Structure 1
Amino acid sequence: MTTSIYSGPVFEMARQQFENVADILDIDQFERPRIFMPKRALAVSCPIHRDDGSLTVFQGYRVQHHLTLGPTKGGTRFAPTLDVGEVAALAIWMSWKCALAGLPYGGAKGGVAVDPRALSPRELEALSRRYMQEMIPFVGPHVDVMAPDMGTNETVMAWFMDTYSMYQGRTVAEVVTGKPVATGGTAGRREATGRGVFYLIGLVAERIELPLDGARAIVQGYGNVGAVAAQALAAAGVRIVGVSDHSVAYYDPKGLDIAALDLHVQRTGALIGAADQARFDGRDLLVQPCDILVPAATERVIDAENAGLLQCRILAEGANGPTTPEADAILKLRPEIHVIPDILCNSGGVVVSYFEWVQGLQQFFWDEAEVNAKLNRTLARSFEAVCRRAESRRLSNREAALSIGVERVMQAKRSRGLFP
């Protein structure tokens, strides 16, 4: 399978995963490019005036993987190293994630190559609005629905929605999800991914007879997903022995004070300075003894070098693509580690984004308890489907999850045929 504009280790990782699953599903070689390759990719220049009077042009992207099942859906990432290959891989993974959850979406992803921490609030708003302005011909409630991702948040989504709405001449709240509740967002959306990680950990813990009360957990990536998951685990009696973010890592076998860490992050925006006596090497954090390991940061952090050194019983992938194919091969030989693959583990966000989209289209909203109940039912259904397929076909959990997602997209494409 050849590509022209897509490259890089993250895209290659997505391609390897697909080829492996395509072999499992016995998909014809001639059919594979249609299922795997993105439908379209957009690259845009986003010029903004800086606070010092200068002008800077940032590179933005959006990749829409397929529109076979409905509009595309996916986050918008602001990160300094972002490129179109990474964005395409994330869009592809989102397709399998939505199909696994039974959502009527194809996958999409977008973003801007920028460090948002280097922008002032005014510059961040200017860049956000300019990016959405460039996207307007290619997005919409029934075409492509954006959501937050790394480096963006509820406020950025509100700016996106307002910019799109100004061009339409009316409020179009359903063009993005992950908005503040005051602007048409849904209760529980911000916490949904982290809550989903926690809920699935609970299902696995029950399955392997691991009591959560007294268990030990390490959370890599103390952003929105990791922090919410850590808080929920701590509330269930789990001892959080390690955490990290972009600024620092902490490890203490006796346990860390999560409430104190949260207060520090709320005040300063980062973990650094919260517990300096427990500072630790971030790379080594992943291989410390624990019962639950939650990589919730970036891609490819578990690789061939450290997969054999993991000392956890549950590997809950809060991030997208944290485990390389080479590491997967090692983990298949370690049945004592129960992997909750990313397209299942972190799907809570897109599930509740779907709820927000539906509520926006209908102008009828649910309370947070109802949202959480619907989320748990959806995750439990996907979890049982993955477990059944893994056991019946003797697949790894990742192979089972990906094969369900790929198979559903493949079946939809086959039933619709090829136009013209």
Structure 2
Amino acid sequence: MSATRQDKTSPDRLAGLSYLNPAAPEPWASFVEQIERVRPYLGSLERWIETLKHPKRTLIVDVPIERDDGTVAHYEGYRVQHSLSRGPGKGGVRFHPDVTLNEVMALAGWMTIKNAAVGLPFGGAKGGIRVDPASVSKGELQRITRRYTSEIGIVIGPDKDIPAPDVGTNAMTMAVMMDTFSMNRGGTATGVVTGKPIALGGSLGRQEATGRGVFIAAREAARHLKLPIEGARVVVQGFGNVGGIGAQLFHEAGARVIAIADHSATLVNEAGIDIPAALEHAAAYGELAGFGGAASLDLEAFWRLECEFLVPAALESQLTAERAAGVHACIIVEGANGPTTPAADDVLRERGILVVPDVLANAGGVTVSYFEWVQDFSSFFWTEDEINDRLERIMVGAFGAIWKVAQEKQVSLRTAAFIIACHRALEARAERGLYP
């Protein structure tokens, strides 16, 4: 990792580069290994398993823009549609200086599994641009977004592939994408993206949905283990839209959030951190650095803290086998996509630590994105209470189904989720057949 890439950057880079482990396996290799672990449980559908190891469509685009100083800069962008067997592609768009095709392929694959695991009528997709949002002006960022949207416009659409926010992007990014797609099409297409501002057809509750889903998944896991949340110690890596909201909901439920971390700081307070104050500080300064309600902590010591809940909510490949060996948590709830390597999964299972996998734990965001998509098609919008109630039902139902399979087959929750999802995705593939 070059020194220049560890300079201070924007808050959009949730956990920052200091968390990246160059020794961790490539994300796509992790995804393929997770698929292979399900092979023995597929029965006659095994003949189709290779379709999950080959993305349906991979688009690499050049994104040239004129910068504010008159020079022309080029950025590399991607949109990967991993599977469209069960419906349109669905997955976020990531703006980050370390975005690679390998990463986007894996993220698209995990979206296929996630959507199928919770029963949403979507396939899996993902996109990204290799750019640091902090290195460009607001105008340049808008031009990058518009050019990227124009370049991938041939593969996206309300009934083809629906992007959403991810690391480094937000509701305004989606507004620009929707406007660009609509202008090129010659008519407003609100359903082409989700996670939009409310005024443009966005859904109430969408911004908090992923963090809320993480908390629901944690609560359900705790219920099955008869572990009370009130008074429980919680450690959260990543303090953006997922980790921050998740920490707030734990705090409101009476848990004691003892450590939090983002790209700028790793903080601990065994008595419990004032999460509302930390969120206010992060909103004001764009980072946790300088927050006075906790002491600094060494990064590796962060992973070894004794707690009931550990929530990795930053980037992928954070929990390696080495780090997993030192974890002292009862339940790990994956707020990020792919934060635990397969080797770490094995270590945690041997040690009796329950892992609630990303494809279940962070499915709240895409679930409410589904609600937004449905509302846009019907031009009829629900209240936030209705959104949260529907999210609760889907998350609790999915958790219960995955828990049952895990118990029946004596496998991890991740493998159970993949068993359910792969059966759904491959059954759709088999029923559709091959054309021509």
With the shorter chain as reference, the TM-score category is over 0.9
> CA offsets, 1:212-246, max 9 Å, x none?
11111010000100000001110111111100111
2:378 aligns to what? 362
| 1:381-405 Cα shifts (integer Å, max 9, x gaps) | 1101111100111111111011111
Which digits, 9 at most, give the CA deviation of each residue in 1:118-171, with x for residues without a partner? 222111111111110111111100000000000100010000001011111111
- From 425, 431, 436, the equivalent of 1:409 is 425
After TM superposition, give the deviation of residue 25 of structure 1 in Å: 2.4
- Write the distance in 2 (CA, Å) between the matches of 1:210 and 1:117: 42
The alignment status of 1:234 with 2:243, answered yes or no, reads: no
Question: Partners in 1 of 2:374 and 2:401 — Cα distance?
Answer: 24
Does 1:170 pair with 2:217?
Answer: no
In structure 1, C-alpha distance between the alignment counterparts of 2:369 and 2:294, rounded to whole Å: 39
Is contact 1:96–1:343 with CA below 8 Å preserved after alignment? Answer: yes
Aligned to 2:324: 307
Residue matched to 1:372:
388
Q: Which runs of 5+ in 2 are unaligned?
A: 1-24
Q: SS at 1:141's partner residue?
A: coil
2:219 touches 2:229 (CA, 8 Å); kept in 1?
yes
State how many pairs are aligned: 412
For residues 282 and 305 of structure 1, the distance between their equivalents in structure 2, rounded to whole angstroms, comes to 14
Counterpart among 176, 198, 204 of residue 159 in structure 1 = 176
Residues 284-319 of structure 1 show CA distances to partners (whole Å, capped at 9, x for unaligned) of: 212211111000001111111011211111100000
Task: Measure the CA separation in 1 of the matches of 2:283 and 2:206.
Answer: 19
Q: Give the distance between the partners of 2:305 and 2:137, measured in 1 at CA.
A: 38
Partner amino acid, structure 2, of 1:115: D
Number of the residue aligned with 1:287: 304
- The one-letter amino acid paired with 2:431 is S
- Contact between 1:221 and 1:244, CA under 8 Å: does it hold in 2? yes
Structure 1 match to 2:8: none
Q: 2:3 matched to which residue of 1?
A: none
Contact in 1 for aligned 2:150/2:181 (Cα 8 Å): yes
Distance of 2:304 and 2:136 partners within structure 1: 35
Backbone CA RMSD of aligned residues: 1.3
Q: Does 1:389 align with 2:405?
A: yes
State the secondary structure of the residue aligned to 1:191. Answer: helix
Deviation at 1:26, TM superposition (A): 4.6
2:35 corresponding residue in structure 1: 18
- Verify the 8 A CA contact 2:334 2:356 in the aligned structure 1: yes
1:178-216, Cα deviation, whole Å (9 max, x unpaired) = 001111100000110000001111111222122211111
Answer whether contact 1:319 1:342 (CA < 8 A) is retained.
Answer: yes
Task: Give the direction of change, closer, same or farther, for the CA distance of 1:277–1:400 in structure 2 (3 Å limit).
Answer: closer
Please report the TM-score for the alignment, with normalisation by the length of structure 2.
Answer: 0.92
Structure-2 change in CA distance of 1:128 and 1:58 (3 Å): same
Q: Following the alignment from structure 1 to structure 2, what is the Cα–Cα distance between the partners of residues 35 and 279?
A: 43
Aligned residue type for 2:149: M
Q: Does 1:346 align with 2:362?
A: yes
Mapped to 1, the partners of 2:301 and 2:133 lie a distance apart of 27
CA distance in structure 2 between the partners assigned to 1:367 and 1:32 by the alignment: 40
2:273–2:294 CA contact under 8 A, matched in 1: no
- How far the C-alpha of 1:117 sits from its partner, in A, is 1.7
| 1:336-392 deviation per Cα after TM superposition (whole angstroms, max 9, x unaligned) | x22111100000000000000000011111010000000010001110111110011
The answer for unaligned runs of 5 or more in structure 1 is: 1-7
* Structure 1 counterpart of 2:101: 84
Determine the structure 1 residue equivalent to 2:216.
199
Paired with 1:314 and 1:35, the residues of 2 have a C-alpha distance of 29
Output the CA distance in 1 between the equivalents of 2:50 and 2:201. 38
Deviant stretches of 4+, over 6 Å: none
Indicate the residue corresponding to 1:264 in structure 2: 281
Residue number in structure 1 paired with 2:62 = 45
Match of 1:136 in 2: 153
Q: Which amino acid aligns with 2:376?
A: G
Q: Say if 1:250 and 1:275, in contact at 8 Å, map to a contact too.
A: no
1:23 Cα deviation after fit: 3.0
SS in 2 for 1:312: strand
Give how far 1:268 is off.
1.1
Q: Secondary structure at the match of 1:314?
A: strand
What corresponds to 2:162 in structure 1? 145
State how far apart, in whole Å, the 1-side matches of 2:44 and 2:65 are: 46
Structure 1 residue 282: Cα displacement:
2.3
Q: Deviations over 1:49-84 (max 9, x none)?
A: 222222210000000011111110000001111111
Partners in 1 of 2:142 and 2:200 — Cα distance?
16
| Matched AA of 2:328 | Q
Show the counterpart of 1:216: 233
Are residues 363 and 333 of structure 1, via their aligned partners in 2, closer, same or farther at CA, if it must alter by over 3 Å? same
Aligned to 1:4: none
**Sequence identity (%):** 46
Does the Cα contact within 8 Å between 1:178 and 1:353 map onto a contact in 2?
A: yes
Query: Following the alignment from structure 1 to structure 2, what is the Cα–Cα distance between the partners of residues 199 and 192?
Result: 10
1:30: Cα distance to partner? 5.1
Give the distance between the partners of 2:181 and 2:333, measured in 1 at CA.
36
Q: Post-superposition shift, 1:29?
A: 6.6
1:247 aligns with 2:251: no
What is the TM-score when the length of structure 1 is the normalising length? 0.96
Give, in whole Å, the separation in 2 of the partners of 1:28 and 1:199.
32
Give distance in 2, aligned partners of 1:106 and 1:277.
42
1:23-58 CA distances to partner (integer Å, 9 max, x unpaired)?
332567753222331101000011112222222100
SS of 1:255's partner is coil
Number of the residue aligned with 1:419: 435
Q: 1:282 to 1:27 in 2, by over 3 A?
A: farther
With over 3 angstroms needed to count, the CA separation of the structure-2 counterparts of 1:318 and 1:324, relative to structure 1, is same
CA contact (8 A) 2:273 2:293 kept: no
**Local SS of the residue matching 1:395:** coil
Give the structure, 1 or 2, with the largest relative contact order (CA under 8 Å, sep 6 or more). Answer: 2
